[in-house]
Amino acid sequence: MHDVIVIGAGFAGCAAAREVRRAGKTPLIIEARDRIGGRTWTADWDGRIYERGGNFFHWFQPHAWTEIMAAGCTPMVLPTPVRASRLVGGEVHAADVDEHDAIIESAWAKYNADSWRILPLPHDPLSPLNDITRLDGMTIAERIAELDLTPDEHGVLMGECEGLASGYADDAGALSVLRWHALCGHNLLSTQQASGGDIAIAEGTIGFLQPILDEAACDVALETPIAAIEQDGDRVVVTTRSGEAIVGRTAVVTIPLNVLGDIAFEPGFSEAKQAGIAQGHAGIGSKAMFKVRGLDETVVALAEDHPFGWFTTLFDDGDEQTLVAFGRDGADVRDDLEWAQRELGRVFPEATVVELSYHDWKADEFAQGTWAIHRPGWYANHHAAMQEPEGRVILASADIADGWAGFVDGALESGKRGGRWAAAQD
Ligand SMILES: Cc1cc2nc3c(=O)[nH]c(=O)nc-3n(C[C@H](O)[C@H](O)[C@H](O)COP(=O)(O)OP(=O)(O)OC[C@H]3O[C@@H](n4cnc5c(N)ncnc54)[C@H](O)[C@@H]3O)c2cc1C
């Protein structure tokens, strides 16, 4: 019998397994895919490392930055945009970056007004010192609708929020935006740096995931999707899709929130936890990479009512640039250069798309979404229940983290908590 069975070999699962090992017990990781990393995926595109999932990091992310430094990885600062574009009311406007920044900064300040008062302790969202009830009950669209914005501010804020949320503004909760702002020292620039397009890791995310797994020193059963977890007295029985039963004393389940409903838990979870699983999260968006020609300067763009709310230059190779773009719905993206040209042309009319790379995380059965952005009512109704162990099973993942929920940092935070709890059980 294994001491602790960890389901999932993303950052949460590997961090949980390492905690188990550090406590002197033996973990086993069971993973559905043929690789570790989960929603991070260091890949190769024409000889260059690029990330199909999680990509950008910041020293404001305490768990992630500690691992990056401990692994001896090299943070890279990506190109600073020189020129900006905004698509507002169906019309494209070119601008210099200062003008562009002034519009988004003004809109962002209105959205996040009083963030110090509302969320003084963003790493502890349920602290009584926080005053989150009103924003927790609203969507991003409802929050934006109550602000006094110019049409330009409205358009760029929609693009920024839907890009950051990886979901629809009328589905995703308003509080997450303020939470990122608070976690980043109540500052827009740091929020943009932390969440997209600024600081990446030269060795790739695998560069600081692999050392965590190495320290866990455990077996990883790849290509082994699980179907059920049954608690039976002082043990848990994990049944794989192929019918194999694997027995352990406790289980740490790091499966993404939007996938948990596919697993049969016996006995079933508490009503509160089941309600949280049924609500899921609203991060169903896209991240796509475009190789383009015809842009003579590095760029950034925010776009309203567009498959991608936010674009920025990732690599600048002179006559060719690679842009990364974030959108609100993975189903909007087509693996079709003509489509890509048309949509990119609405934002950068002079650009020619030569290649497109995209992974559909929404359709990916082991993710069913990108990063977690919670729907209204999450903190009031579900957050605490999701972290509560039940019997010999605990959930852990970025999607239910306290601080950087939805990010690698949150995966590490939650995975460590889950691993420590599991290792402490008899
Ligand atoms: C496109 C994209 C861009 C992102 N950008 C950033 C970023 O820039 N910075 C950042 O910090 N974060 C970013 N994120 C979010 C970040 O990648 C995730 O929040 C984090 O990696 C999640 O880690 P996790 O371990 O909680 O979950 P996962 O990484 O999803 O790991 C869960 C594991 O469980 C496995 N699993 C699922 N079902 C089963 C099953 N039935 N049986 C066995 N195993 C199963 C999965 O295959 C997976 O490996 C991004 C995510 C995406 C998709």
Which amino acid is present at 13? G
Residue 61 placed within a domain: no
Nearest atom of ligand 1 to the alpha carbon of 226:
42
Q: Looking at residue 130, what DSSP letter applies?
A: -
Task: Average the pLDDT over 184-190 and give the result.
Answer: 89
**Backbone phi, then psi, for 232, in 5-degree steps?**
-140, 95
Q: Which of 116, 148, 183 is the last residue of a domain?
A: 183
Q: Any idea what the CATH number is for the domain that residue 12 is in?
A: 3.50.50.60
Nearest atom of ligand 1 to the alpha carbon of 285:
1
Same domain, 275 and 210: yes
Domain that holds residue 109: 104-183
Contact 208 CB / ligand 1 (< 6 Å): no
Nearest atom of ligand 1 to the alpha carbon of 396:
26
Nearest atom of ligand 1 to the alpha carbon of 409:
11
- Residue minimizing CA distance to atom 2 of ligand 1: 53
Same domain, 154 and 212: no
Same domain, 209 and 277: yes
Residue 191 placed within a domain: no
pLDDT at 196 over 80: no
Q: Any idea what the CATH number is for the domain that residue 176 is in?
A: 1.10.405
Distance 131 CA to ligand 1 centre (A): 29
pLDDT at 33 over 90: yes
Task: Average the pLDDT over 184-211 and give the result.
Answer: 90
Task: Average the pLDDT over 252-277 and give the result.
Answer: 97
Residue 352 placed within a domain: no
Same domain, 259 and 388: yes
Nearest atom of ligand 1 to the alpha carbon of 11:
25
Contact 313 CB / ligand 1 (< 6 Å): no
Question: Cα separation of 20 and 212, whole Å?
Answer: 12
Contact 312 CB / ligand 1 (< 6 Å): no
Same domain, 170 and 235: no
pLDDT bin (cut points 50, 70, 90) of residue 189 is confident
Average pLDDT value over all residues in the chain: 96
Residue 136 placed within a domain: yes
- Residue minimizing CA distance to atom 29 of ligand 1: 38
Structure token digits, residue 392? 């010999």
Residue 66 placed within a domain: no
Structure token digits, residue 158? 């929609």
Same domain, 261 and 400: yes
Asked if 419 contacts 19 with a C-beta cutoff of 8 angstroms, the reply is yes
Contact 156 CB / ligand 1 (< 6 Å): no
Residue 269 placed within a domain: yes
User: What b/e sequence results for 83-106 when a residue is b if at least 16 CB atoms lie within 10 Å of its CB, and e otherwise?
Assistant: bbbbbbeeeebebebeebbebbee
Containing 158, the helix (H) or strand (E) segment is helix 151-165
Angle among Cα 240, 389, 135 to the nearest 5 degrees reads 110
Ligand 1 pocket test target in 289, 371, 395, 417 with most atoms within 8 Å of CB:
371
Size of the chain, expressed as the number of residues it contains: 426
Residue 32 placed within a domain: yes
Residue 224 placed within a domain: yes
pLDDT bin (cut points 50, 70, 90) of residue 421 is very high
Same domain, 234 and 176: no
- pTM, two decimals, is 0.98
Distance 85 CA to ligand 1 centre (A): 31
